[in-house]
Structure 1
């Protein structure tokens, strides 16, 4: 999720505790705990692709290090609130880390590596896009409504949290409904995967995995699925052994759950590798792509993430669906 949503979730989680003399310290500790994991944006990486896939949502987002994040947030809160008590702040900061950040990242399609360093697999629940204004808005309204005379009223924040949670539960329920509909439409498919769509709680994207192809399309509540494209599926990722041995290419391939890979020779030697994932598709064509240029020795010359166009052009394509 985005930093604003993480911070608001931390604030709301802190408000679950009954107010007392430690309230300011607990609220500050919870907000900090919900934000601190994303400081990994500042960590260096060899190239932009590795920064996006490995540095961000790495160890700082693991369950193993969650207590350390909460401890750091508790220490910072104590610096600003002198009478703060460690044993009061820490458990709430830990809850804000786990629920306000790690879980919130895991329920997006991008996922997060909760099990590092024991496993680098991304945990993803596919419930929501990374940015969802309809989830964030009740939290923000509750926080703004709750500000009164340099204090923060508890009830508006809890109402905002309850509303956002109800929205999330509604999305999950609708998603399961769509999944059953798509499964009935593709009875011979090996598996069905449904993902949230942009700006619209009743719209979803799907990938139906068949033996030799991916069928992708859009679906909405109350309507039959609309298949938009089919893409060939290969048993082995169609990237050469030399390209797959490169850490950047390997990381991008591990990220792609339904990969479309194109490899082309470069005029000056080496190869250009294009890696897309069909879970991020619009009108049947993938939007998110990693472009990686390798020299003849397999070293990275350039690496970047392409989102398929500007925000305006993507929205225009979305509304034409």
Structure 2
């Protein structure tokens, strides 16, 4: 999730558990500690694929963060002891502030290596967009109120209430994900399509309209599903270019990316560059993580050693308006046209 959300989540937890004794400082301590795991972004991991796939690694591990909580508890007890609360309460507070950061990240589409260093695939619940105002707003209000009026009396309950509301909202997003996938499965049965895998995620900034990707061999299907739909969704068939994946058989970056994304990838030959797109993130036709992994030389391909991000065009606000209208009306959205834009080079996209 975004840094503001992680900060107000950490502030709310520490305010709820230690605000009685630490006052407004609990909110500040929790906000700083709640954003700590994302400091791994300052580490240079090498190329663009490594930067993406090693983020949310060790710094988001439950093992590492639990050890850090123990260390911070010991240091606080030694240098800043407070007789008002026990070491157990202090550890619980610090531990929850730290581990709820990666746990919340697990609800997004990116992928979080919660059990690093175990060789397990990253967890991607994909029920919340990376920025979701409905989740953040109750926590933000509680933190602002706590900073303005303190955490005494009835005000001490605000962080707890906000945490309850935000947790209920997460439950709502999980219900939405299940709803969307069930409707798409019914549409697949209707059309006689056998799905290799199904990936669903909310559309940008809301959890009422869902984007569902169905991997089907050389192609993939995309569908939009709203809570208010009365009919089964239309499945838009889109070429995936998987025949190009053979070019990357010896690419360690491609192997790493395929592991990280569970293979929800698309391949395009763009101006002699083999561009691999992570379809999970962003929106149809606008995906922030695209990588040029090989260049065509004569009749063959040459692997790129230092992989870089492929230039991505800016998001189109008019498309957000189309998606917002789609929430309420079962209108056709030009998903195929949007997806075909991925075949254009950066100069063409800029026009």
**Which TM-score applies when normalising by structure 2?**
0.75
CA-to-aligned-CA distance 1:112-171 (integer Å, 9 cap, x gap): 011221215111111101111111111101211233455573222222222222222122
Kept after mapping to 1: 8 A contact 2:19/2:26: no
Structure-1 separation of matches of 2:294 and 2:219: 28
Structure-2 separation of matches of 1:219 and 1:35: 33
The alpha-carbon distance between structure 1 residues 247 and 148, as it changes in their structure 2 partners (threshold 3 A), is same
CA-to-aligned-CA distance 1:220-253 (integer Å, 9 cap, x gap): 113131333433474x77142xx44343333223
Structure-2 separation of matches of 1:189 and 1:225: 16
Helix, strand or coil for the counterpart of 1:66?
Answer: helix
Ranges in structure 2 where 5+ consecutive residues have no aligned partner: 296-300, 326-332, 334-351
Matched with 2:63 is: 64
Matched with 1:170 is: 172
Kept after mapping to 2: 8 A contact 1:53/1:255: yes
Matched, 1:213 2:214: no
Matched, 1:247 2:248: no
Looking at secondary structure, tell me which structure has more helix per residue.
Answer: 2
1:45-84 to 2 correspondence within 5 Å? 45-54=45-54, 56-71=55-70, 73-74=72-73, 81=80, 83=82
Which stretch shifts more, 287-296 or 223-232? Answer: 287-296
Kept after mapping to 2: 8 A contact 1:217/1:227: yes
Kept after mapping to 2: 8 A contact 1:36/1:73: no
Matched with 1:17 is: 17
**Which TM-score applies when normalising by structure 1?**
0.81
Matched with 1:262 is: 268
Q: Which has the higher contact order (CA 8 A, sep 6+)?
A: 2
Matched with 2:209 is: 203
Matched, 1:103 2:110: no
Kept after mapping to 2: 8 A contact 1:274/1:289: no
Kept after mapping to 2: 8 A contact 1:287/1:308: no
The alpha-carbon distance between structure 1 residues 280 and 21, as it changes in their structure 2 partners (threshold 3 A), is closer
Helix, strand or coil for the counterpart of 2:21?
Answer: coil
Structure-1 separation of matches of 2:68 and 2:131: 23
Kept after mapping to 1: 8 A contact 2:287/2:312: yes
What is the deviation of 1:73?
4.7
CA-to-aligned-CA distance 1:247-293 (integer Å, 9 cap, x gap): 33332233333211235685xxxxx33111333464x5462342235
Instruction: Report the aligned-residue RMSD.
Output: 3.3
